[in-house]
Amino acid sequence: MSDYTAPVRDMRFVLNHVVDLKALSELPGYDHAEPDLVDAILEEGAKFAGGVLAPINWAGDQEGAKLENGVVRTAPGFADAYRQFSQGGWNGVPFDPELGGGGLPWAVTIPLTEMWNAANLAFSLCPLLTQGAIDALEAHGSDELKAKYLEKMVSGEWTATMNLTEPQAGSDVGALRTKAEPRGDGAWLIQGQKIFITFGEHDMTDNIVHLVLARTPGAPEGTKGISLFLVPKFFVNDDGTLGERNDVRCASLEEKIGIHGSPTCVMSYGDNGQCVGWMVGEEMKGMRAMFTMMNNARLSVGVQGVAIADRAYQRAVRFARDRVQGRSLRPGGTGAIIDHADVRRMLMTMKGYSEAARAICIYNAECLDFARRHPDESVRRIRQGMAELLTPISKGFGTDIGVEMASVGVQVHGGMGFVEETGAGQHYRDSRILPIYEGTNGIQAMDLVGRKLTLNGGEPMRALLADIVATADIAQGAGDPAVQAMAGPLAEAADAAREAGEKLAAMLGSDMNGAGAGAAPFLRLMGLTVGGWLMTKAAIAAADLVEQGADDRPFLKAKIATAHFFATQIMVQAPALARAATAGAEPLYAIDDDVLVA
């Protein structure tokens, strides 16, 4: 159950030939991110993922985390694995070296994130949230809070959580009731309950830093009245040592269909009226601060979807190679089901979607790196706009294909896929939370249509489509017939995205419900188009390397073949999705509410 091999070759190829690792290494502060060092880091990360995290994945699923006398005991091996994770410096890879971090680009961190999550999704949720909290505290925290908490969060010595959801307030964060009362000395007394708090309590570190949304006295209703507070499990003394326990506890653990190794906690703050927190950022600006963390998490959750898709694909390929059933119609076939055309279609679908979504997430991260570090303000602005446009696509498309490819993986296994001992079912169960995390994918779709489509007057969308069309033109003139065949579907997808985008943007002013009705198919359309674009770029680069006589020709030819399959079998869905995206809301409401149940 522990056999996982990180797809380092594909990750390395995307970094060097789809995005521009060399250009990233020339940005201020990233000068050490040279290909040789990045290769070494990816190789070491692959060893840790396959050798430490993957072997405890099955036990984490079967035994899970347990709440005993107010203490959460994590699954067997988790605490030791986390100790190795933090001591190895993996938690701090993208953060400031002055805080003990590695100072590497997010575009390099994303492949590592995929490795951790493919090897052991439940375990990896813990550092994912800590990294998001670091971003939020670094951007909005006071100098005093940063000095007291950041370094140990970067090292991984302390972990962190994000506390938004309450029993009566799911995605409607503005309905929260948790209260914050000023104590008179700059601190606040926090009282309330939060649900679905990942790793809200555990035994892997000595302290946990909770970022908690709460409402201050006199604050207006809705999200405008929310503030963000840092609430530690243990108070921190001025010398950095831990003091008394804060008035915060885990009341219970949720029983879930998957990610059993990850404790999902109901957290109770201030049962005794003594829960103390400190404000992060300005009063009633909590959502702005929390969104710093959430945007980081949304890209990372998209990567989790990619991770599960690839892990399910690897398991399916191994099974298909070994499973002998039926008569092979393939000349020279072995009799294994991998010979059967329908099984081969499923495997190529899994491979194509996984590689396309991986490229989207790494490109998204590259845009963030340029937005943060490029010396030219105009480049930073353009790349920031592109990153904001891509984030809901990365999250929504990545997590949708995670679930879908895990399901396809079960199908490849046939009846054995429905039996727990094969492990295929765990990927499906684990992945199902991902389209719900960090804003459901319906919210991501609405964000894409309602905000990002028209961001900066539509500049990012226009720039993206121009880049896609330019790549289609290059493919059209390619010498490799397979690459040339990608040009037409890519150009058609770009046209479909442009037409649908223009119609949805027009709806925003007159028919918001119609735009909302088309949001989900439009997000899927954008995922296919952007993924197909990046796959075509990869194929062009691979074909050039083959022509130049590069080594590893089987890998390069497989890149071309996978991109060709994606373009001609998957991306061709784009025009149909454009029609669905622009059909308006009427088809959704053609049946009265009371008839829906009949």
425: confidence class by pLDDT, cuts 50, 70, 90: very high
In DSSP terms, which residues pair with 213 in a beta bridge?
228
In this prediction the pTM is 0.96
Residue 1 clears pLDDT 60, i.e. is over it:
no
Please name the amino acid found at residue 378: S
pLDDT score for 438: 86
The first and second tokens of residue 278, run together, are: 């400190």
Q: Cβ neighbours of residue 296 under 8 Å, at least 6 residues apart? A: 131, 132, 135, 136
What gap in Å lies between CA 1 and CA 513, rounded to an integer? Answer: 46
71: helix, coil or strand?
A: strand
Q: What is the pLDDT of residues 4-38, one digit of tens each?
A: 999 999 999 999 999 999 999 999 999 999 999 99
305: confidence class by pLDDT, cuts 50, 70, 90: very high
Q: What is the pLDDT of residues 349-392, one digit of tens each?
A: 999 999 999 999 999 999 999 999 999 999 999 999 999 999 99
Q: What is the pLDDT of residues 49-71, one digit of tens each?
A: 999 999 999 999 999 999 998 89
Catalytic residues: 438
pLDDT score for 326: 79
Contact (CB, 8 A) for 132 and 126? no
Report residue 387 CA to chain centroid gap.
14
The first and second tokens of residue 10, run together, are: 């594909």
Which superfamily is assigned to 8-155 in CATH?
Acyl-CoA dehydrogenase/oxidase, N-terminal domain (1.10.540.10)
Contact (CB, 8 A) for 314 and 221? no
Spell out the domain ranges in the chain.
8-155, 160-284, 440-586
Closest Cα partner for 304 from 436, 197, 413, 161? 436
pLDDT-above-70 percentage for the chain: 98
Burial group, residue 519, by CB count within 10 angstroms (0-12, 13-18, 19+): buried
Q: What is the pLDDT of residues 122-148, one digit of tens each?
A: 999 999 999 999 999 999 999 999 999
Residue 168 clears pLDDT 50, i.e. is over it:
yes
CATH fold label, 160-284: Butyryl-CoA Dehydrogenase, subunit A; domain 2 (2.40.110)
3-state secondary structure string across 347-415: HHHHHHHHHHHHHHHHHHHHHHHHHHHCCCHHHHHHHHHHHHHHHHHHHHHHHHHHHHHHHHHHHHHHH
pLDDT score for 598: 65
Q: How far is CA 529 from CA 467, 486, 575, in A?
A: 12, 12, 10
pLDDT-above-90 percentage for the chain: 90
Q: How far is CA 329 from CA 341, 413, 455, 519, in A?
A: 8, 19, 52, 42
288: confidence class by pLDDT, cuts 50, 70, 90: confident
Residue 171 clears pLDDT 80, i.e. is over it:
no
Question: Tokens 């960090």 identify what position?
Answer: 438
pLDDT score for 2: 56
Q: What is the pLDDT of residues 489-535, one digit of tens each?
A: 999 999 999 999 999 999 998 999 999 999 999 999 999 999 999 99
328: helix, coil or strand?
A: coil
DSSP state of 202: -
pLDDT score for 229: 97
What gap in Å lies between CA 448 and CA 443, rounded to an integer? Answer: 9
